[in-house]
Structure 1
């Protein structure tokens, strides 16, 4: 059995002693041949070289619930007086190197220097568009936040931040941030890797944020699969007031369907968990797949109309967009 470089622990229903997996779902693994076929046959849409936005300066403290879209999967969540960042990336590329890889097309909706004091960082998995070492180093130096990650991801971060405050958890483990905020790691249908030989050696997850007043769920990266985990989330935890659901990086479907939802499936998740409101994330910042830059937003509107859902209840979050929730 291959030695896991990130995590050692007991066998579970989603860890075989060496690698994590999505129980009872199709494999997310793609071979080099699959990747070659995608690159050989794909016809990626032409994205603009840059998109102008109006960046915002968030308030330092919010009593209720406010979500500010930074870009891609980076979201500032302000609730119950706590400032939380998801999957923070302020770098120009989502890549292990600064000179190659997907380049940022849309600037961050919040300038790094204008961030409020960051209390908590949630990292869903270790792909480079979600776990960015340079950004984590900057955040640690400026804010020294608590970092909550799924199993194995702490090993990656400790290599660059040996003194960071990190808590790791398995699916359904709960972290009590303070007397008003609890964070629970939730399952997702996805995978992980930082290189060629570490596939699925660290876990992936979403996060359920629970306060006495409101509940918010950040789905992380996920496919839809058979939808069982989303229906189970509703059974276990109830309906979130706000759900942050990915809507981008989904074409071509033969390659991406096992790891990323498309907007139609995002609406199915929204309905499965009975969210009061939702925001679409993970789109319009880095060109990772073949669809056009505005395609996720347009397809989301079409899917909502087809499912007879209100367009006001599930919006595609725009960088720099501020979304208060009563």
Structure 2
């Protein structure tokens, strides 16, 4: 947990601000609740490929918010931050409610080999979802940050490894083809070995599921390498520390170049990069003075993309729950502006997609 302590005082101050800001804003009119009544975020029913080795591309399917299912050329399937509930909250009658439904149910997913959890916040870790995944995939291995192993074991999930920043774990699987695959060639039903390296890496965030366990467990980004391809999963992270500025002021203007930036993304790129695909958060960022330390906006996301040395990227952490006050359809629009400002093509490098859509890399 040593890596997480450097943000402890900042986290405490921001947590107090989060508790007091809504009340004050309702009185002053400063808070504007996003309108989710006519959201136009496309969704499609996902299609997953049969497991087989020898493929050349990654296949990544967005399942909403930060949840992605990534299928590697080796045949490995990794599920990141699965939350399939209607509300990301301790109970299902209170808290942020989905304005876009999941594109499928947990029962529609193909067999999963590994589940990676970035941290303990409710929009990234669901008790119901992980228990159902473990029931349906008894061989799946769960990878979590320091301090979370006990929570999983208390939830009846023993196939779990907790890790600190910069630690590596090797995953080796020997299994037959998925039972539903019909293949008359007996050679293709022999056991095959799938290997992967899972790496726990830093990010700038926080953790906690109640006021009693704030920052008791580690938050992390993750890297997964298998079959000659690599993915960096940003999970949930901030990048800078932006003070309260007048409305309309660009905090990436030259006068704000000296604002603090988290140095660890450049370290990730130098020590573990490059990556074939980055899954990078782009949403839940307004007001900036409150959220910049723990949530990246699209301009931050582009800087993170460059520093981690990702060849391609997809935007995550948007399009599902209204967690902050920006318009829910704003992140992709702002991402195009941020890419243009960095001289990066607006499409084909760092993209967004429909919920349920798969892209190959």
Normalised to the residue count of structure 2, the TM-score between the two structures is 0.81
What's the counterpart of residue 182 of structure 1?
197
Please state how far the C-alpha of 1:33 moved relative to its aligned partner: 5.2
Of 58, 62, 66, the residue aligned with 1:65 is 58
Q: Bigger shift: 52-61 or 121-130? A: 52-61
What's the counterpart of residue 37 of structure 2?
48
Please state how far the C-alpha of 1:215 moved relative to its aligned partner: 1.4
Of 129, 138, 147, the residue aligned with 2:132 is 138
CA RMSD of aligned residues (A): 1.8
Q: CA 1:113–1:274 in 2, change beyond 3 Å: closer, same or farther?
A: same
Q: CA 1:214–1:201 in 2, change beyond 3 Å: closer, same or farther?
A: same
Instruction: Tell me the secondary structure at the aligned position of residue 208 of structure 1.
Output: strand
Q: Bigger shift: 308-317 or 142-151? A: 308-317
Task: Tell whether 2:236 aligns with 1:221.
Answer: yes
Of 138, 144, 150, the residue aligned with 1:149 is 144
- Kindly name which structure, 1 or 2, has the bigger radius of gyration based on alpha carbons: 2
What's the counterpart of residue 291 of structure 1?
326
* Whole-Å separation in 2 of the counterparts to 1:134 and 1:214: 31
Please state how far the C-alpha of 1:47 moved relative to its aligned partner: 1.4
**Is the contact made by 1:240 and 1:274 (CA closer than 8 Å) also made in structure 2?**
yes
* Whole-Å separation in 1 of the counterparts to 2:275 and 2:22: 37
* Whole-Å separation in 2 of the counterparts to 1:286 and 1:99: 15
Instruction: Tell me the secondary structure at the aligned position of residue 210 of structure 1.
Output: strand
**Is the contact made by 2:76 and 2:226 (CA closer than 8 Å) also made in structure 1?**
no
Normalised to the residue count of structure 1, the TM-score between the two structures is 0.89
Q: CA 1:282–1:121 in 2, change beyond 3 Å: closer, same or farther?
A: same
Please state how far the C-alpha of 1:210 moved relative to its aligned partner: 1.6
* Whole-Å separation in 1 of the counterparts to 2:98 and 2:144: 24
**Is the contact made by 1:267 and 1:304 (CA closer than 8 Å) also made in structure 2?**
yes
Residue-by-residue CA offset, 1:99-153 (whole Å, 9 max, x unaligned) = 1111111122333222010110000000000110000111111112100000011
Task: Tell whether 2:154 aligns with 1:159.
Answer: yes
Residue-by-residue CA offset, 1:55-106 (whole Å, 9 max, x unaligned) = 1231232633110000001100110201110000111110000111111111
Note the 1:1-326 alignment, pairs <5 A: 13-14=2-3, 20-22=4-6, 27-29=10-12, 30-32=14-16, 34-41=18-25, 42-48=31-37, 53-61=43-51, 63=55, 64-79=57-72, 80-144=74-138, 145-161=140-156, 163-178=157-172, 180-211=195-226, 213-225=228-240, 226-311=261-346, 312-325=348-361
* Whole-Å separation in 2 of the counterparts to 1:119 and 1:204: 22
List gaps (5 residues or longer) in structure 1: 1-11, 15-19
* Whole-Å separation in 2 of the counterparts to 1:58 and 1:122: 19
